Structure 1
Amino acid sequence: MAIREMEEMTVKNFEVFNGDITSPKGFQASGVHIGIKKKKKDMTLIASDVLAEAAGVFTTNKVCAAPVLVSKENIKAGKIQAVIVNSGNANACTGEEGYENALKMTKVTAEALHIDPSHVIVASTGIIGVPLPMDTILPGIKKAAKALSPDGGEAAAEAILTTDTIDKKIAVEVEIDGKKVTIGGIAKGSGMIHPNMATMLSFITTDAKVEGEFLQELLKTTSDKTYNMITVDGDTSTNDMVCVMANGMAKNTALNQEHPEAQKFIEAFYYVNEYLAKKIVQDGEGATKFIEVEVINSRSFKEAQTVAKSILSSNLVKTAFFGEDGNWGRILCSIGYSGAEFEVNEIEVFLGNKDKMIKIVENGQGTGFSEEVMEKLLKSKKLKIMVDLKTGTESAKGWGCDLSYDYVKINGAYRT
C-alpha cells in the first residue's frame, strides 16, 4: 500500500480533542477494580456494539505471554468485537496453565457479552511468572461487563496502567465521504520500553468503515514509525500488543488504498498512534527529559531508523542528558556502532530544543560551541538531536528519554 511519508502530514484535515476509545460511535468500555491490585483499577473491557474489522501487531519477544498467543490466533480472521485486559499480572512464563487461563478469559467475556469467544482479544500486563488469580479474574470480567458504558473510556484508560504515572488517551475527528469519522485510542507503557515493541498496550477504536487488508497494512506501517521508534530502557517485553477495531458505524464508503479520501484517514490514524507512542516515552520510568532524534539525508529509511534507535538506546547518551551534559562524543559514538554507512568527516549533528538548535558536530569533530549556552539549553524538558548523514535523501524520527536514578529505584523494587 502506498502511504505518503508521515512526516509530510499536517493537522489541517482532522480535529484533535480530549476523547478516548468510546468517542467513536458504537463503542463502550469500563475500567474497574477487581482485586489484583490493592486499590487501583485493574481490569478494562472494550466492546463494540457490532462485529468490527480488526488488526493487530504483537511483541517480537520469543518469550511470548499466553494472552499474546491467544490474541494472535483470534485476530487471524480479522473480526473482533471485544477486548478484555487485566493489569497487575502479565500471565507470562506461566506454561499451559497460563494459556488455558487466557482462553478462559475470552470465554467468560464472550458469555457476558453474548458473542463468540474467537471475537475477543485478551491482554495482560504486570508481573511476569505469577499465575493469574482466576478466582478474582473471572468474577472481575462479569463486573467489568456490567459496568460497560459509552462514557467508560477514561476509566478503561486508567485500569490498564501499571507503573505509569499518567493515563494516555486521545481522539480525533475527520470527515470522510461527508460523514464524521472518529478515531480514539488509549495506551499504557512506562518502563521496559524498546522497539519491536515495548512493554506497552495500545487499543484503537474507530467508527470508520475500513477494509480489513487495508487496516492491517496501515497498522503495521504506522507501528513501524511510532511504537517501534520509541525506547526508554532497551528491554522488549513479553506482552506487547496494539489492536485496532473499526466497526463501520460512521457509514462511510469502505476505506481502501483506492478511496479518494484515504490519505485523510491515514494521517488522522497516524497522529493518534504517534501521540500515544510519545506519551509512553514522556512517562518513562524516572524520566526527566523527552528526547526526539531525527536522522536526515540517509541512504534509506531503514538506515535512518537504525541510527535514530542507536542514539536513543545508548545508556551513555541517556545518562548524559540526565546530567545535562552536552557530550557530543557519546552521540557520535552511538552513530558509529549503529551499522549505518557514512563518512565520519562529512556528518553533522545538531542539539537543541524547539527554540534553538546548536551544531555540535561538523566534519566528524566538535564545533567548540559555548558550554554556557549548552548548559542552559539542556535544562529544557524536551530536547532534540538532528543527525545529517549526507548519504541520501531518506529520513526517520524516534523518541526516547533520559536514564535517571529513579529508574533504578523503581525497577529495583518492582515486585516489592
Structure 2
Amino acid sequence: MDERATGPAGASRDGAPHVVIVGAGYAGFATARRLRAAPARVTLVNPYPYHYFTTLLHEPVARPRQRERIALPLAPYLPPNVRLWLGRAVAIDPRRRAVEVEERATGTRRWLEADRLVVAVGSEPLFFGIAGLEERALTVRDLTSGPLIRSTVEHRLARYAAGAMGAEGRRIVVGGGGYTGVELAAELAEARDDLARATGVAAHAIEIYLVEAAPTLLPGFDPALTRYVTRFLERAGVRVITGTPIAEVTPRHVVLADGRRLEAGTVIWTGGVRAHRLVEQAGFEVDRRGRAWVDGHLQARGFEGVYLAGDAAAFPGDDGRPLPPTAQVALQQGEYLGRALARRLRGLPVEPFRPRVLGTVISLGRRDGVGLLGRGYRVTGRAARVLKSATLWRYLYRIGGARLLMRVLGGAPLQPLPGRPEP
C-alpha cells in the first residue's frame, strides 16, 4: 500500500476544505467514494486497511475460507483525493468537528480537525444487562468472529470427545433470532457433519439451540417467510425456542427466563446492537440505542457541519421511529452524504435524504434462503440464496466494475490474509 493511501493527513496547502470520515463500513466507504470529484481533501480514518461485508460475517463459521472473500482492500478503490489513515478513533468532539485517533503503527494519539466531519463508526453488541452474557458469549462483529466461533466450537467438541467436558461441550446456544441469529444457526447446522469429522463427535450428538425472546423468530418480518425459516431450521436439527428471553449465562449453562437451564459450552449472542459508544460519549443527542438523532440531511442536531450515517445515525422513518441498522440503509446514507457534501462544497442546493426500501434477503446456508422484495413479493429456496449472492455481486460491481466482479466469481480471495499471498 502506498504512502499516499496510508499516511496521516497534513495541513492543507491549497486551502481546500478538509472532510474527515470516521469508519470505513458501508456508509463511510460509500461517502469517501462519492467524494471523488469534490473540491476537498478527504481523510478516511479506519483501524484496518480493508472494508468487510457485515452481512456475510456469519459465513466463515461453516466455510472458513470465506473469510478471504468477505473483505476488500480499501486503498485500490479510494479516489485520489482520499487518504486512508490507519488508526482507531478514541474520541469525537463535534463542537470542534474533530476526532482523536490512535495511530495503528505507532500507538500515538492525535486530534484531526475537519471542515466537515462524517461519523460512521458502526455498532457494537447490546447485551441488555443480562448477567454473564457479555463476559461469556461470542459475538458476530468483525472478520475475526467467524474463525473464532468455528475454532471455539471445534475445541469444545474435541474436549467433549476426550471426556474433558460434559454434555455442555456438544451444545451450542445462539441467543437472538433476528437476521444474524437465523443465518448463523443455519450455517452451524450445515457445518455439523464437518464438525463431526474434525472432532470425532457423532453429528447427531451436536446440538444447536436458537433462542428468541419474541413470540416468533425474525420479529417484524413477513409471517409466512418466518414460518418457512422456522420449519427449515427445525428440519436441519436446530432446536428453536421462542417467547422466552435469556436471563443469565453461567460458565456451564444458559438460564432462560422461564427457569429452564440449558447446558451450553458455546454461547453466541446476536440479540441486538447499539451504536458505537463513541457516539454517546461525544455528547450527541441519542436514542435508546445510542444512535445520534439527525435531520433530513443527516446532520447531527445542534452541530453544524457534523454528519452521521449507518448504525451511528437515528434517522426517523415515515412512522417516526429510526430506520433499522441495515446494510442497505447505511449504503444509501453514505452515497447520499458523498453526493450532498460535494454539492455543498460547490455552493449548490442539496435535497434531503430519502431512503428506498429495496427488500430483505436472508440466507439459510449455501443452498436456501428467503426474501421479501418490493410490493410484498416473496421468494424462497435456491432462488432466494442466489438473490443474496447477487446483492454482493452488484455491490462489488459498483465498487470495482467487471474486473472485480469476475475476480470474485472466479473464486479468488478479495482480501489476502496473513499466511496467504496475494494471488
Query: What TM-score bracket applies, with the shorter chain setting the length?
Result: under 0.3
TM-score w.r.t. length of structure 1: 0.25
TM-score w.r.t. length of structure 2: 0.25
